[in-house]
Structure 1
Amino acid sequence: MDTMRDRFAPVVTRLLDEDPRVAVVLAEIGRDGFAEALRRHPDRVVNVGIREQLLIGAAAGMALTGLRPVVHTFASFLVERPFEQVKLDLGHQGAGAVLVSAAASFDWPAGGYTHMAPGDVALLDTLDGWTVHVPGHPDEAETLLRHAVAAGDDKVYVRLSVQSNARGLPVDGEGFRTVREGRSGVVVAVGPVLDAVLRATEGLDVTVLYAATVRPFDAAGLRRATGAAGTDVVLVEPYLAGTSTAAANDALADVPHRVLGLGVGRAELRRYGRIEEHVAAHGLDARSLRERVGRFLAVGGAVPAGA
């Protein structure tokens, strides 16, 4: 199966052909995928070199002239390094852009901590007005990329990952989707963690919601799932643990509830390892999730064989 990032350049190249407002801004990363697009649209495909602050500044300038810039590099260089420019050049100036990241959380362990950004969504949460898409499959990534580019002049972050669920689900860039119903609690699975969550909760009397768009947070969808009496909620996110706990608490502020936020821990894991080893170390594999979710919701049992 191809990856989300494999879809990125072909989809955006087609958008460049279809819409004269679309522009692409790169900082070396991903330039080979746009070689043909550069030939066809030399005025709307720009590579600024290894200058991430300029990457955002140039995109903001394009947006202020009426273009719809799509900006791409690794998450740590797209959100963290040029954060001041994200805050001021885009946010303060009211300029919109589509930021599309790669190497989410720990997708490239050999790159070390400089190339990891599990705090990217939490960092964007300190700013106003960002839509955040976290697709769980290449098909969803393609749909959400098109949604993002078509979103007027909004500020949109699309978080691509090499981690993927086995199959894509219909996504609309808006609310949560119910994939399993139960009565003993609600588990919200974000993007590529859905398969692990479904294996972990197999046979448990819990509702599972799927979120491929996490900002705006679907407060109404969570309230419907928990019911008028309120209930306990587990958030399983493929980035910093607890990123959405405040949003969930706000959604359920008037009903009894508890919220557990699971995700990538704050401790730096200093050995490269493999993606699967990082997943297990952060307790995001199916077996660990089964134990953690079961203990919190007071449901349990071993992960079924073959799950």
Structure 2
Amino acid sequence: MAGIMRERFVEVTTDLLAADDRLTLVTADLSAKLFDEARASHPARVVNLGIREQLLIGVAGGMALAGMRPIAHSFAPFLIERPFEQIKLDLNHQGVGAVLVSAGASYDIAGGGRSHQSPGDVALLATLPGWTLHVPGHPDEAETQLREAAAGDDLVYIRLSNQANRQAYARQGDGHGHGFRVLRRGGSGTVVAIGPMADAVLAATEGLDVSVLYGATVRPFDGAALRAVVAEQHDASVVLVEPCLAGTSVAEVSRTLQDLPHRVLGLGVGLEELRHYGTSHQHAIAHGLGPAGLRLSITSFLGK
């Protein structure tokens, strides 16, 4: 599945640019050559700014003020962390919308070192109001989220990854797939798997008496679905497994269950930097996000 989400992003964005004159694409060198065909067809609406990430967001904000619908793309640390002040001021403060689409996730580009890792991107954007934050676990989910975002006017972040589940698990039937979907039912605890973590969580919880929920969107957080599942449990304990910084959405779980006695464990990428480059698979294991590590953490927390 490596790279398939980004390939789908290029294909779908190229199609959308041809269909909607309001749509624009802004890049900062990374992935720019993948859009050569789109740039040749729409030279005024496909703009590569070079390695100028702050300008990337500033230009997107200006385009939005002019009535365009900008899609801005780069690797996660260069799209979210480096130009965060511009996101805060040129998008949120100006009251305009944009679609930010990243690649690289937390440590997909492990060989690039710390400069190419961004486990804290979702948590950082969650400090700003009005954002829809998508963490797709499959290319089909990413495509649905992108098409919906391109047609809107709001603030949307789509976090692409080289890691993907074997199938798309996002809830169907509501027209959006924003809500959580029950993948497995049990009676002694709830495990929430976000985006690419679903297959690992299903493997880790095999044979355990727990419910497994899946979500490809973390903001807005589907508290109603979580609350409904927890209400069916003998044990109101929740384990939240995210492919980004551990604890990113723990406060959302606590807010959802604030009037109920409950416990919550947030699993994800640890705060401590891993200084050996390695591979993304090795990083996942080191952070306890492989099936074996997840099972150990889940069973220890739930006392099973």
Same fold (TM over 0.5): yes
Q: 2:38 maps to which residue?
A: 37
Q: Which runs of 5+ in 2 are unaligned?
A: none
Judge conservation of contact 1:63–1:96 (CA < 8 Å) in 2.
yes
Are 2:51 and 1:47 equivalent residues in the alignment? Answer: no
Letter in 1 for 2:231: G
1:42-93: CA deviation from partner (whole Å, max 9, x where unpaired): 1110111100000000000001111110100000000000000000000000
Supply the distance in 2 between the matched residues of 1:189 and 1:54 (Cα, whole angstroms).
35
Shift of 1:170: 4.3
Q: 2:86 maps to which residue?
A: 85
Letter in 2 for 1:235: L
Q: 2:129 maps to which residue?
A: 128
Q: 1:278 maps to which residue?
A: 283
Q: SS in structure 2 opposite 1:269?
A: coil
Judge conservation of contact 2:73–2:102 (CA < 8 Å) in 1.
yes
Q: Counterparts of 1:206-221 in structure 2 under 5 Å?
A: 206-221=210-225
Q: 2:164 maps to which residue?
A: 164
Are 2:259 and 1:254 equivalent residues in the alignment? Answer: yes
Are 2:70 and 1:69 equivalent residues in the alignment? Answer: yes
Q: Relative to structure 1, is the Cα distance of residues 259 and 104 closer, same or farther in structure 2, using a 3 angstrom cutoff?
A: same
Supply the distance in 1 between the matched residues of 2:23 and 2:101 (Cα, whole angstroms).
14
Supply the distance in 2 between the matched residues of 1:139 and 1:250 (Cα, whole angstroms).
30
Are 2:54 and 1:57 equivalent residues in the alignment? Answer: no
Judge conservation of contact 1:104–1:161 (CA < 8 Å) in 2.
yes
Supply the distance in 1 between the matched residues of 2:197 and 2:232 (Cα, whole angstroms).
28
Q: SS in structure 1 opposite 2:238?
A: strand
Supply the distance in 1 between the matched residues of 2:35 and 2:12 (Cα, whole angstroms).
11
Sequence identity (%): 61
Judge conservation of contact 1:134–1:158 (CA < 8 Å) in 2.
yes
The count of residues paired between Structure 1 and Structure 2 equals 298
Shift of 1:144: 1.2
Supply the distance in 2 between the matched residues of 1:251 and 1:69 (Cα, whole angstroms).
33
Judge conservation of contact 2:187–2:232 (CA < 8 Å) in 1.
no
Judge conservation of contact 1:135–1:213 (CA < 8 Å) in 2.
yes
Q: SS in structure 2 opposite 1:29?
A: coil
Supply the distance in 2 between the matched residues of 1:210 and 1:76 (Cα, whole angstroms).
25
Which of 169, 176, 179 is matched with 2:180 structurally? Answer: 176
Shift of 1:142: 1.1
Judge conservation of contact 2:170–2:180 (CA < 8 Å) in 1.
no
Supply the distance in 2 between the matched residues of 1:108 and 1:170 (Cα, whole angstroms).
25
Q: Counterparts of 1:89-128 in structure 2 under 5 Å?
A: 89-128=90-129
Shift of 1:122: 0.6
Q: 1:198 maps to which residue?
A: 202
Supply the distance in 2 between the matched residues of 1:274 and 1:37 (Cα, whole angstroms).
32
Q: 1:302 maps to which residue?
A: none
Shift of 1:298: 1.9
Q: SS in structure 1 opposite 2:281?
A: helix
Shift of 1:173: 3.8
Letter in 1 for 2:161: S
Shift of 1:228: 7.0
Shift of 1:174: 1.6
The alignment's C-alpha RMSD in Å is 1.2
Q: 1:267 maps to which residue?
A: 272
TM-score, structure 2 length as denominator? 0.96
Shift of 1:169: 2.6
Q: SS in structure 1 opposite 2:10?
A: helix
1:167-209: CA deviation from partner (whole Å, max 9, x where unpaired): 1234424211111111111100000010000000001111100
Letter in 2 for 1:184: S
Shift of 1:3: 1.2
Q: Which runs of 5+ in 1 are unaligned?
A: 300-307
Q: 1:305 maps to which residue?
A: none
